[in-house]
Amino acid sequence: MRYYLSVFLLGISAFIHAAAFEYKYPRSSVEMVLKKVSKHVYFVQGARGIATDNQGFISNATVVIDDKGITVIDALGSPSLAEQLLSQVRTISDLHIKRIISTHYHADHIYGLQVFEERGAKVLAPYGVHEYLNSEAAANRLEERRFSLEPWVSETTRLVEPDELIDKPTIIEEDGIKLTINYLGKSHSEADLTVFIEPDNVFVTGDVIFEGRIPFVGDSDSKAWLNTLNDMAGKKGIEALIPGHGGLAGDPEKAITLTRDYLAYLRKQLGSGVEEMMSFAEVYESIDWSPFEKLPAFHAGNRINAYQVFLSLEKEMLEE
């Protein structure tokens, strides 16, 4: 009887907190569930799809609650989504948001940053993000999302400058939690971070790992990314892995291997064509894609990924 009463009271408390949350931005109507990963760690999982699907909720965000405050890792793809995340957090904790760590600066992970900055959270990001922030591509992307994700991304949505840049392995140890932030440099994006959370042994990888689907390659440095994944493969003691996209990886080694094998396959198969001076169309049609063609997002993204890697391999060959 006591158990059911405590569950009932917890539900009432959560409802009251959610109802009392003050929203500044247009409210998102997508389903968002704050899932418990371990004693201190929670995360929300975006839906599968392209960046403008599901009101922009296609990426993941992580919440770490220690004895005195909260750390958020990645801010989602709009201020509205960030507020929805924060409203979920407020159902379980009233503690101050101490910091938000951005694993990389891609639109689906950063447009919610202003919500946390406005509430006094310190913004941490990898050294090199200013290459994106100051680019025409960033300005054009924001303008496009103000159209494609209106009203959740609007004229009030802005790019947030980080308060602190991480350019080397950094440890934050306080209030019962140890965060090991690993600086990767250019990998999936212009600059990437991963975060290892102890004592829970949860690994947050950002978009360096895409769980259960082929990754989005974009303009990444596939060579550096592959080297990063090779280094990750030997990491011990990971009990759970939260990727940038996809579900919680209960088998971290398998998640790392899938992304690594896909990138290695792209580089090996396309590299042979580049060496033979074949056109992209010729080499693409000659490759056996059966090891990956049944994975989610393959048909939507594989040819684009392959083309980007093909171009980067041509560039690497010219620079040799």
CATH code for the domain of 18: 3.60.15.10
At residue 1, the pLDDT reads 54
Residue 20 reports pLDDT greater than 80: no
Residue 246 lies in a domain: yes
Q: Which amino acid type is present at position 49? A: G
Which range among 12-16, 101-105, 223-227, 304-308 shows the weakest confidence by mean pLDDT?
12-16
> Do the domain assignments include residue 184?
no
Assess if residue 174 is contained within a domain: no
| Distance in angstroms (rounded) separating the CA atoms of residues 201 and 223 | 28
Examine the fold and report which residue of 141, 165, 189 is the final residue of a domain before the chain moves on. Answer: 165
Same domain, residue pair 65 and 150:
yes
Residue 21 has what DSSP assignment? P
Q: Are residues 10 and 153 in the same domain?
A: yes
Q: Are residues 148 and 283 in the same domain?
A: no
| Residue 157 lies inside a defined structural domain of this protein | yes
For 208, the enclosing helix (H) or strand (E) is strand 202-210
Q: For the whole model, what pTM was predicted?
A: 0.86
- 180 belongs to a structural domain: no
Verify that 161 and 231 share a domain, yes or no: no
Let me know whether 122 and 50 are in one domain.
Answer: yes
The CA-atom distances, in angstroms, between 277 and each of 19, 111, 136, 319 are: 62, 41, 32, 16
CA distance 86 to 3: 27
Q: Is residue 101 part of a domain?
A: yes
Query: Higher pLDDT residue, 281 or 221?
Result: 281
Q: Which domain holds residue 29?
A: 1-165
**Looking at the structure, do residues 151 and 23 belong to the same domain, yes or no?**
yes
- More confidently predicted of 255 and 25: 25
pLDDT tens, position by position, 232-253: 877 778 999 999 999 998 888 8
Measured at the CA of 82, the angle between CA 219 and CA 28, to 5 degrees, comes to 105
Question: What are the φ and ψ backbone dihedral angles of 124, each rounded to 5 degrees?
Answer: -110, 140
Q: Are residues 102 and 154 in the same domain?
A: yes
